[in-house]
Amino acid sequence: MPVTGAAIIGLLPEIIASVFMFVVLLGGVFAGERNSGIVGGLAVLGTLATFASAAVLLAIGFEGTFFGESYAVDNFALFFKLIVSGTAFFTVIAATRFAGSTGDAPEYMTLILAVVLGAMLLASMRDLFGLFLALELATIPSYALVAFDRSRRESAEGGMKYLVTGVIASSVLLYGLVLIYGVAGSANLTQVAEAFSGELTPVGLVGIGLMVSGFAFKLSAAPFHFWTPDAYQGAPTSAAAFLSVAPKAATFAVLLRILVEGLPGATATWTSIIAVIAILTMFVGNLSALRQRNVRRMLAFSSVAHSGYILVAFAAIQGGGQETGVQAILIYSAAYAVMNLGAFFAIDLVGEDAKSFNGLFKTQPALALCMGAFMAALVGIPPFSGFFGKAWVILAGAQSGSVLVYAAVGALVINSVISLPYYFGIVRNMFLEEPVSGGTAPKDDGGVRFSVYALAILTTIFILFFGLLVTLTGASGLL
């Protein structure tokens, strides 16, 4: 397998990310302990360069498969690379102060860049074992990220729980992949598709079931979601925000690629499995979130629920809903990235107790408006970003022509209403309650503030570039 010039161009985002990963780590060595600013700056530069290279590849319409068709650079993969590097950009900006305060800024930033690299590789993988390696590259640094905050006990606890469940999930996933490989006799998705075009063998069915379960762990879908609240509560805020968005989006991407490119013959099987998981996930996520008083845990369960919403789009990839279903997953991932990242960052500025948001509109009106926009977007109220994600999932469901998917869409509608009280509990605290005394915000939080404001603006003006997004995702290269 020769490495051609085209392959180097196609892999430019990954190459840039790996170069900066080492530069940041070494930069930390030379800059010394006190210069977390330099390290942060390098990391920001790295994510920005990665984003720019992916954007250029997308703009010039670069397409190709490399290494014996096991690595695809298409619009679909590039779209997810943009989401991953874009969220990483805002995350490293927001994380600089925290990373500096731990004294281990270079390590923290390196871990984030390692997740970025893994997630970007993941979005392009067309090989069962390659994708497993990429998934582990994205996951293993995230265990360390969750446990990074040594000043809090919950951090170590969350990291431990995440590690144990994550390892089990990886083995289940690997087992499923091996069984699929055993049936197909090849790890390449093209050959897998040929092998699975006929009737499904029992081994193949078990393989698909185990693989979907393994992914359900990684995507915190019910009933494999229980690690999520502890991990997100323990993790430093910036890590929780990043992990709830970027690796998750890439995992959705690779799952979609396996199912659509590798297992189109078994569509009826996996859409049914996923529809059931989706319905369960939405209800479990939302009903659990209703009971939370801690905003971090609430957002963790909310991220479970949103995995459920996206999985409805997976279930809708059948009948007439194929194209819209894929589109919905892309649109939802982008919409979710901006709103959820922002909502998590706001915790850093306000506090993780729901009560600490009381009267925020009087004390910090701009921040209250931003958080209000994130909450409305998470509910799915137009004109904010989340609405378009949900609308496209419903559209795909309407086109799918399957009764089970109609039921899932019905569950999505009901769940949107169930989610309203907990998201708007925050809005009520911010706008309708009186401020509590004390609890001043830390001073040098300019990075977090910048990220929150920028993400709130993106969440709000999503409607303006939505038409472009639909055109882009319509030609995603998948299908």
Q: Which residues bind another protein (CB under 8 A)?
A: 372, 376, 379-383, 387, 391, 394-395, 398-399, 409-410, 413, 416-417, 420-421, 424, 428, 431-432, 463, 466-467, 470-471, 474
Q: Toward another protein, which CB reaches closer, 276 or 381?
A: 381
Shortest Cβ 423–another protein spacing (Å): 11
Q: What does each C-alpha distance from 389 to 59, 334, 372, 385 come to in angstroms?
A: 23, 8, 18, 7
What is the closest distance, in whole angstroms, from the C-beta atom of residue 458 to another protein in the complex? 18
* Closer residue to another protein (CB): 173 or 412: 412
Identity of the residue, 50 or 429, whose beta carbon is nearer to another protein in the bound complex: 429
* Nearest-approach distance from CB 18 to another protein, in angstroms: 38
Phi/psi at 71 (nearest 5 deg)? -140, 115
The distance of closest approach from Cβ of residue 396 to another protein in the complex, given in angstroms and rounded to an integer, is 9
Which CB atom, from 37 or from 320, has the smaller least distance to another protein?
A: 320
Closest approach, Cβ 387 to another protein, in A, equals 8
CB of 434 to another protein, least distance (A): 11
Of 314 and 387, CB closest to another protein: 387
Helix axes 322-350, 466-474, angle to 10 degrees: 130
State the residue for tokens 């990963």: 21
Q: Which of 237, 246, 430, 433 is nearest to 346 (CA)?
A: 237
Half-sphere exposure of 274 (CA within 13 A, CB side): 30
Residue corresponding to tokens 């069962």: 128
In the bound state with another protein, the residue whose beta carbon lies nearer, of 152 and 428, is 428
User: How far is the C-alpha of 414 from the C-alpha of 314, rounded, in Å?
Assistant: 19
Q: Which is nearer to another protein, 151 or 471 (CB)?
A: 471
Q: Angle 376-377-381 (CA atoms, 0-180°, nearest 5)?
A: 65
- The residue (of 56 and 391) whose beta carbon lies closer to another protein is 391
Residue closer to another protein (CB basis): 239 or 405: 405
Minimum CB distance to another protein, residue 151 (Å) = 37
Which residue number, 170 or 415, has a Cβ lying nearer to another protein? 415
CA–CA gap between residue 358 and residue 428 (Å, rounded)? 8
Closest distance of CB 314 from another protein, Å: 18
- The smaller minimum CB distance to another protein, of residues 41 and 382, is found at 382
Buried b / exposed e over 309-346, threshold 16 CB at 10 Å, is bbbbbbbbbbeebbbbbbbbbbbbbbbbbbbbbbbbbb
Closest approach, Cβ 411 to another protein, in A, equals 11
Would you say 203 or 413 has its CB closer to another protein?
Answer: 413
CB atoms within 10 A of CB 429: 23
* Residue in 187, 127, 195, 140 with CA at minimum distance from that of residue 167: 140
In the bound complex, what is the minimum distance in angstroms from residue 413's beta carbon to another protein? 5
Distance of closest approach, residue 392 Cβ to another protein, in angstroms: 9
Q: How far is the CB of 419 from another protein (least distance, A)?
A: 10
